[in-house]
Structure 1
Amino acid sequence: MAPPLLILTPHSSGQLPAQVMHQMLGEAVYDTLAREALQRRIFLDGDPYTDLLFLVPGARTLNAPWSRFVVDLNRERDDASDNGVVKRTGFDLNALYPAGTEPDAEDRLRRYWDSFNAQVRAELEGVSLLMVGHSMGMYGPALGPDHGQPRPALTLMLGEGERATFPPGLTEPLRLAAEQAFAAVLRGAEVSRVAVNDPWTTDDLSVRYGHARLPAFGLEINAGLYLTDEGAPRDDRIHALNACLRVFAAAALELVGSG
């Protein structure tokens, strides 16, 4: 695909280093069932299967190697809040670590945040468009701007004002391109609305690397479109959504090339 498109999926992984699992589980880390249960919960609380949903042959792609609960690559390095770059709670507001246990934030940042962002910077040369791929739950979680509210099928996060990351004049053409590209999947789906900046206006990676010569945006895909209520993948829907995404990526590249 040319001109180059760079796709980042900052929350696609559910992997935890053994050291982090030990901090979360204590000696239960040696219990296979406890370990597997933690890994599944962590994976589903990330953006599951976004590495497949945003697979575009020919594009430059960086998928997160570790879970967002190791370090959140879509947070600023100095975000020390509970849901910041090194999280202390999950989205259900429950603690991730036993009482009295605190992760070594600076060590995490050095090992995982710094190395990923160095990779991003190395891929930026010659890129014409940056797309950041996410998924979101059907309803807003306890820790979220839309607690309990139903979410759109797709959300384009383009920023606004000084934090705009995509040309404002191309907002509606991009939304229409998404509607058209995903029409086959959204037709008859439980959720079908394509939203702009709802429930989030932007993502930090788009703000961090987008600029006047590099349009950037985040795309959220509602997980209800491809997961069962129990969190099991629906392979046919993942495949269909990815086919739509490839069409949309080509349309988005054409838009920024003509804009």
Structure 2
Amino acid sequence: MDFHFEAGTLPLLVSMPHVGTAIPDDIAAAMTPAALPKADTDWHLRELYGFARDIGASTLAAHWSRYVIDLNRPADNTNLYPGQDTTGLCPLDTFGREPLYQPGRAPDDAEVRRRLALYWQPYHERLRAELGRLLDRHGRVVLWEAHSIASVVPRFFEGKLPDLNFGSADGASCDPALMDVVTAAARADGRYTIAVNGRFKGGHITRTHGRPGVGIHALQLEMCQSTYMDETAPFGYRPDLAAQVQPLLRRMLEAAAGWAGERGAA
């Protein structure tokens, strides 16, 4: 199993490339104990977005851990944020700078190519195929990149992140009107702080697949994990917190799908 996929009926695909926790035995054997907690996972997003299937959205979620290969990085490992610290295509350390591999056992170029073929490519092929299907059916489609991160990660940013961080590659990956309808719902809710194209502008998937000119509009939402879970190990899901943010997530997804449906029918 390379991913978890369910086809929906709305012009909306929810992609979760960092929810995977599986690590093949041969790769795990080369790793350090720091890899075992898989702390940098986008924990519990499949549960948090469980309503997406109920409203008719397609969903695609990773099976393999980002420590195996990061599905939201380009195949050539280009830094998406030049001049800033990021983890790579096959990460060598955790967000806390703990080494992931035992000395001398980090993946070489041949191993990276092997992982691209085995673990990275299948997810992207499924993503492209579903976007194509929905585009053919509706004429316009929204790709919603669902992500989460600890609210405080000193390696990457100072202080605490806003609760909801929206990205559209500085407006290049979707029509500004789509971002407006989605963030309007967040602002109307009033309980969460938000940022648009701040520290998170969208990763490889958003930037590559978001092509407004052909009718594919991609945006990324990077949520602080403090909005729905415990941010420290064992990273427990918090149903009480999730119950507060889920209605807003649903309104935003429904607004995005409604916008795509109206535009597609135009």
Q: TM-score higher than 0.5 here?
A: yes
Instruction: Choose from 171, 175, 181 the match for 1:167.
Output: 175
Q: Is the 8 A contact 2:151 2:160 kept in 1?
A: yes
CA distance in 2, matches of 1:177, 1:9: 21
Offset, 1:13:
1.6
Residue 228 of structure 2: aligned partner: 226
- In the alignment, structure 1 residue 54 sits paired with structure 2 residue 49: yes
Offset, 1:195:
1.2
Q: Is the 8 A contact 2:150 2:231 kept in 1?
A: no
Q: Is the 8 A contact 2:200 2:222 kept in 1?
A: no
Unpaired runs of 5+ residues, structure 2, are: 1-7, 80-85, 136-140
SS of the aligned residue for 1:24 comes to coil
Residue 206 of structure 1: aligned partner: 206
Unpaired runs of 5+ residues, structure 1, are: 26-33
Q: How do residues 67-78 of structure 1 correspond to structure 2 at under 5 angstroms?
A: 67-78=65-76
CA distance in 2, matches of 1:141, 1:51: 26
Q: Which moved more, 1:165-174 or 1:151-160?
A: 165-174
Residue 149 of structure 2: aligned partner: 136
SS of the aligned residue for 2:19 comes to coil
Residue 153 of structure 1: aligned partner: 163
- In structure 2, the CA distance between the partners of 1:68 and 1:206, relative to structure 1 (3 Å rule), is same
Offset, 1:79:
0.1
Q: Is the 8 A contact 1:155 1:194 kept in 2?
A: yes
CA distance in 1, matches of 2:178, 2:237: 33
- In the alignment, structure 1 residue 176 sits paired with structure 2 residue 180: no
Instruction: Choose from 4, 9, 20 the match for 2:11.
Output: 4
CA distance in 1, matches of 2:46, 2:89: 21
> What stretches of structure 1 move > 4 A for 4+ residues in a row?
none
Give the number of aligned pairs.
Answer: 234
Offset, 1:153:
0.8
SS of the aligned residue for 2:100 comes to coil
CA distance in 2, matches of 1:60, 1:229: 28
CA distance in 2, matches of 1:226, 1:126: 30
TM-score (norm 1): 0.82
Q: Is the 8 A contact 2:178 2:256 kept in 1?
A: no
CA distance in 2, matches of 1:209, 1:179: 27
Alignment RMSD: 2.1
Offset, 1:22:
0.6
Could you tell me the percent identity over the aligned residues?
A: 29
Offset, 1:208:
1.4
Residue 30 of structure 1: aligned partner: none
